[in-house]
Chains A and B, each alone.
Chain A
């Protein structure tokens, strides 16, 4: 007697119950994050941005005249910059960073004032002896949102089986 279609389907449905152990998906998510972090460290942020940008571009169809227009714009900008009519980035250097790199005592004063406004850092305990420049954490605007309150993680064993 042959297994009929219905019996086969019933048998296959049983395979739904083959599931990984409880908690697996939460642990796998942690592992996923870990690998993402590793990847992040391997490749620079710019590269990722570029990759995302390019994959985003994949969905556009660029009309052919756009290439011409872009080239035209490039020529105009190049001419202006090249002729020295306008030089960007001369006085805007310290506006962009949200991490402040300091070296001298005056600079530290600036940072302390800034921290007095935003955070509550106690500078008396900060190690000033290390070589400059220092990277100073500054409380950023995004920090008004709630942080992620941590209660997670699991020690990992290095043992594949019962060995030492």
Chain B
């Protein structure tokens, strides 16, 4: 009996020790993996920063309040720069500083709707390749690189907090990326990079005491750049359809066509009142606010396929978008030769 009773505790002790050993092993392994995970994130972020930093520039300019400074970055090897509209959209005497050099810059295009401006310097430059902003997910890690205040180039690391079309009851012109990075003054126009080192957004403005910020998806910036390359200006398109919220979702969409604007391309398009919108161009429509987003990507004088549901059947019609009637005639500041050319071109077109 004694032996039996005596052996048991010993066996139990052995089992306990084994269990403890396994737990200890698992614990240290997980610590090790976590440590490795952290190490690898740290390596990745450092790599992204080192790869991209040379293509990020500080922009100096002047506006009616005096001198201003912001950030921008090259998106091609020929010196084309993307920055925030507030930095380069309406200012003059633009000087771009990168490396130890300063270059005078021209404004190619300024687009208040998206919140960006394109500038150009005459130089061979490093550049950032663009990624796919549609691939971003909630909690995707991102790096921004900017020039805060009068400090040297500064990386920040954070993650995607959301994709918002609306903030505090105000609609944006297109869905913006909410980035959980505390931006500082001077960093408007900074690139938002994924861990492959590709630009996926442009930092536009901060929210809530600069604890987070909104970035324009690179896809939207590409629309502006493509328009510029093709037409020499941004060409927002318009179809002229008003949409209301339907009672119940049909094929996952509650966006119902309510009316057509007088003289708009929608009138003879084959679309009908009561049609349920499913797709405009490549943008899926689920609810009325989605059309605001789709509208951003329309281009005047370009065909856009629109898919609707009518009597249970999907119908796709193609409409040629017209110039957006809501477009504000740009007022160009003095001493910005590139945009003056644009202004003249716009005038000639009218």
Report which A residues bind B (CB closer than 8 A): 21-23, 33, 36-38, 40-41, 119-122, 125-127, 130, 135, 137, 142-143, 145-164
Contact = CB atoms under 8 A, between A and B. Distances in A.
A159 to B, nearest CB: 5
B68 A163 contact: no
Given A150-B86, A151-B185, A22 B238 contact: no
A22 B168 CA distance: 8
B242 interface: yes
A125 B63 CA distance: 24
Nearest to A38: B331
Contact of A164 (B63, B205, B292): B292
B99 to A, nearest CB: 10
Contact of A157 (B101, B171, B187, B240): B171
Interface string B114-127: 11000001110000
Contact of B68 (A38, A126, A135, A150): A150
B243 A151 contact: no
Interface string B65-82: 111111000000000000
Contacts, number: 166
A163 B68 CA distance: 36
Contact of B291 (A22, A37, A147, A164): A164
Given A148-B65, A164-B280, 18 more contacts: A37-B64, A41-B331, A148-B67, A149-B69, A149-B70, A150-B186, A151-B186, A151-B188, A154-B115, A155-B176, A155-B204, A155-B216, A157-B113, A159-B326, A161-B242, A162-B242, A163-B291, A164-B298
B104 A21 contact: no
B174 A155 contact: yes
Given A41-B333, A149-B68, A158-B173, A164 B210 contact: no
A21 B169 contact: yes
A153 B215 CA distance: 11
B324 A158 contact: yes
A152 B83 CA distance: 12
A163 B238 CA distance: 9
A126 B122 CA distance: 6
27 contacts: A38-B331, A119-B95, A120-B100, A121-B102, A122-B102, A122-B123, A125-B121, A125-B123, A126-B103, A126-B104, A127-B122, A137-B95, A147-B60, A148-B68, A149-B149, A149-B150, A150-B68, A153-B86, A154-B204, A155-B113, A155-B173, A155-B176, A157-B113, A158-B326, A162-B288, A163-B243, A164-B292
A149 B86 contact: no
Contacts of B87: 150
B301 to A, nearest CB: 16
A26 to B, nearest CB: 10
B85 A151 contact: no
